[in-house]
Amino acid sequence: MERDGREVDATDRRMLELLLDNPRLSNRALARAIQMSPSSVGERLDRLQKSGAIRGFRAEVDPAALGYGLEVVVAIQLRQGKPVRDTVDSLRGISEVRSVQLVTGRWDLLLTLLVRDQLHLREILLGDVWSVADFQHSESMIILQAWSSATPLTAAPSDDGDDRPLGRATGS
């Protein structure tokens, strides 16, 4: 993988794997894990951030702790007409919308919503989502349980030109 003319080498990959497992690792702990000096680790981290390989560090909060107990996927079909970007911008303006994805297949957009309960979901669908211009049809699905995967880093690019990395599943 190359970014801004510099290749992400095996040491960078190992650092990124360690940070995915524990984003709070200090430079000193990373240095111990990869047997490198803390200053060298710091330089590498700076380079990875400047190149965009590391997009940032964030706290992940359980939405249920804030009163948002339901996560919902809403698949939407749009009418032809208005540019999709306008519709996406309108949907992103709804505070309960966590993500909007443009997809192929039967549906045009997939929304992920965080809502307090079924009544709140009904309020958001009727009052906000369904009133977006060019809305044609939708299907809502309540997420019962979710699993996520870390960014795939466990395999280095192979010599045969197939540089698709392999991922590790996390969660329960």
Whether residue 55 sits in one domain with residue 37? yes
pLDDT value for 103? 97
Q: Which tens digit of pLDDT belongs to each residue from 28-46? A: 999 999 999 999 999 999 9
55 and 85, same domain (yes or no): no
Q: Strand pairing partners for 60?
A: none
> Is the pLDDT assigned to residue 107 strictly greater than 80?
yes
Please check whether residues 47 and 85 belong to one and the same domain: no
Are 54 and 73 within one domain?
Answer: no
Asked whether residue 159 is domain-assigned, the answer is no
Specify whether 68 is located in the same domain as 131. yes
Residues 23 and 92 in one domain: no
pLDDT recorded at residue 163: 42
Q: Are residues 137 and 67 in the same domain?
A: yes
54, 98: one domain = no
Q: Give the CATH number for residue 74.
A: 3.30.70.920
Grade residue 48 by pLDDT with cuts at 50, 70 and 90. very high
Same domain, 67 and 122: yes
* pLDDT > 90? residue 169: no
| Distance of alpha carbon 21 from alpha carbon 11, whole angstroms | 16
Q: What pTM was estimated for this model as a whole?
A: 0.68
pLDDT at 58: 81
- 30 assigned to some structural domain: yes
Query: What residue type is 171 in one-letter code?
Result: G
pLDDT-derived band of residue 8, with 50, 70 and 90 as boundaries?
confident
Helix boundaries (H) for the chain: 10-21, 27-34, 38-51, 84-92, 118-124
Instruction: Say which CATH number the domain at 19 has.
Output: 1.10.10.10
Question: Which residues form the domain of 88?
Answer: 63-142
Cα distance between residue 115 and residue 59, in whole Å:
20
Contact partners, residue 139, CB within 8 Å, separation at least 6: 74, 75, 107
Of 59, 78, 104, the residue that ends a domain is 59
Query: Within 10 A of 12 (CB to CB), how many other CB atoms are there?
Result: 22
Indicate whether 77 and 136 sit together in one domain. yes
CB distance 172 to 42 below 8 Å: no
Give how many domains the chain has, as a whole number.
2
Q: Which residue has the tokens 């060019």?
A: 134
Beta bridge partners of 149: 169
Mean confidence (pLDDT) of the chain: 85
